Amino acid sequence: MLVLVAPGQGAQTPGFLTPWLDLPGAADRVAAWSDAIGLDLAHYGTQADADAIRDTAVAQPLLVAAGILSASALGDVTPGAVAGHSVGEFTAASFAGVLDDTAALQLVRKRGLAMAEAAAITQTGMAALLGGDPEVTVPHLEKLGLTPANVNGAGQIVAAGTLEELAALEADKPEGVRRVVPLKVAGAFHTRHMAPAVATLEEAAAGLAPADPTITYVSNKDGKTVATGAEIVSRLVGQVANPVRWDLCMETFQELGVTALIEVCPGGTLTGIAKRALPGVKTLALKTPDDLDAARALIAEATEATA
């Protein structure tokens, strides 16, 4: 069974959208999305520097647009399940037919703006911890006032909190943690620091008419599959202030019988985790259109195996 996944914030790099805009119709689609959300996605995806695309209000819609664009380039694909990491859940909601492309981008644009506003209240950030045992790491983080904002599996936890708390973590690592790596994000996402953004998103989502998913949708909140569009949107609203449990999502992939996993553009982070946490599962990251042929071959192989 094939699982299609979408990465979260921090996966973006300068110019990563450039080769995708050469695909037939891609530039026109991106221009239409840009008009709909009031943000020049083509500029930020091709010309802007690392600091410009680190901006939460820019990075989030840019990642969702890239994910949708690269997935559609695969052709007529029906994966066995879809999921996204953090803001990637909006991409997954589009894959599953819960929100159309424009609605997903409009909502995520409001999410990015609201989270940037919340992040400006206090100087906060996030850092990945490499190595360590979650049973040791989580209590240590809580002792320092930090939140285990992403529990990603394969020994990776992302801590979030104030810059002072993160500095204390660097000086006092949990036992077994080899490195603490700051992430390219502008705030402590998926923590109490993002609570002001939840109310903004609730208001923005009130006018939506989400459809029920046409593909099995796996949620970050608890790794559960979610059957209704209304519940998926409710979870999208709440997840900005709640931890991402990607470890539980991968457990669900295993229960569903995953044999192949493709990560849409800008792929790499989630396939890296899957290689460690899902032994035997074939993985592929869509970085440029040059990866499309290999992705289609993997899709055909997974479809044949499922049949």
β-strand pairing of 260-263 with 282-285: parallel
| CA distance to 35, 254, 283, per residue, from 1 (Å) | 37, 10, 12
Q: Name 128's Cβ contacts closer than 8 Å, sequence gap at least 6.
A: 150, 156, 157, 158, 180, 181, 183
| CA distance to 117, 121, 202, per residue, from 197 (Å) | 8, 11, 9
Is the distance from CB of 248 to CB of 223 less than 8 angstroms? Answer: yes
Is 234 among the catalytic positions?
no
Residue from 85, 190, 193, 219 carrying the catalytic annotation: 190
Grouping H, G, I as helix, E, B as strand and the rest as coil, residue 65 is helix
> Which runs of E-coded beta strand occur in 119-251?
124-131, 147-153, 156-162, 177-182, 216-218, 225-226
Is the distance from CB of 146 to CB of 215 less than 8 angstroms? Answer: no
Is 86 among the catalytic positions?
yes
Residue from 34, 70, 72, 86 carrying the catalytic annotation: 86
What residues are labeled active site? Answer: 86, 190
